Amino acid sequence: MLTTEKAAAWLDDYARVIHENAAWLTDLDRQIGDADHGSNLERGMTAVEAIPREEYPDAASLLKKAGMTLVSTVGGAAGPLWGTFFLRFAGALDEPGDDATVVAAAMRAGLVGIVQRGKATEGDKTVVDALGPAVRVAEQKASQGASLADTLTAAAEAAAVGRDATIPMVARKGRASYLGDRSAGVQDPGATSITMLVESAARTLA
C-alpha cells in the first residue's frame, strides 16, 4: 500500500532533483526547444512542495493535488503532461494487487494520459521515449513477482536507457520538431526530467 508519507517523500525528492537540475534542463531545452523546461518545472515543483500535506488523507488525494498544482503552475506543454501523469497515476492507485503491480499499473495509466494529451509515440524524441520503456519494464517485473523496490529500480534503468536513446533522434513533436535534422545530437529535456521522476520513485516509494 502506497502511504501518504511515501507519496510525499516522492514529491519532495523530485522537487529537490528539479531544483538541482533546473538550469541544466533549461539549457537542454535552449538547444532544441524554447529554453524554459527547467524553470517551468521548478516553478511547478516549488508549488507542489508548498501543498499542506496534512490536508490529504491518502497518497491518491495528495498525488491528485500535485497533478492539479502542476497543471495550474507549469504552463507550456509540461504542465498538462506532468499534471495528467500525476492525475492518472493517482486515479489508478485503488486497483487490487501487490504494491509492485499497483504502481506499475498506475505508471501505465499516467503514460496513457500523456499519450492522449500529447499524441506522441515512441521515437518522436519526447518524454514517451523514456516513460514507455520504464512502464513496460515495471509491468514485466511486477508480473514476475518482483518487489516494488526491484520493479522501480529496473524501471528507472529502462527510463535512463530510453532517455539516452533520444540523443540521436530527430524530433517529430513539440518545438524541437521545428529544427528537423538539427534536433539530433541533443538529449530530449522532457525524457530527461521524466527519467528523474522515475528515479525519484525508485528512491522513495519502495
Of 30-38, 55-63, 94-102, 132-140, the window that binds other proteins (rule: CB under 8 A) is 30-38
The 118-157 site mask, x for binding other proteins (CB under 8 A), equals: x---------------------------------------
Residue 78 touching other proteins (CB under 8 A): yes
Binding residue (CB under 8 A) for other proteins from 8, 66, 74, 205: 74
- Map residue 108 onto helix, strand or coil: helix
Binding residue (CB under 8 A) for other proteins from 179, 184, 203, 206: 179
DSSP H helices, 33-180, are 37-49, 59-73, 78-91, 99-118, 128-143, 148-165
- Give the HSE-up count for residue 61: Cα atoms under 13 Å, Cβ half-sphere: 8
Burial of 51 (0-12, 13-18, 19+ CB in 10 A): middle
Cell of 187: 538529449
Binding residue (CB under 8 A) for other proteins from 6, 19, 172, 203: 172
Nearer to other proteins, 23 or 167 (CB): 23
Rounded CA separation 173/121 (Å): 9
Q: To the nearest 5 percent, what fractions of the chain are helix, strand and coil? A: 75, 0, 25
Binding residue (CB under 8 A) for other proteins from 2, 48, 60, 73: 73
Of 49-57, 148-156, 157-165, 173-181, the window that binds other proteins (rule: CB under 8 A) is 173-181
Cell of 197: 521522476
Nearer to other proteins, 113 or 132 (CB): 113
Rounded CA separation 75/70 (Å): 8
Of 51-59, 78-86, 99-107, 151-159, the window that binds other proteins (rule: CB under 8 A) is 78-86
Q: Give residues in contact with other proteins (CB under 8 A).
A: 26, 30, 34-36, 39-40, 43, 71-81, 117-118, 170, 172-175, 177-180, 182
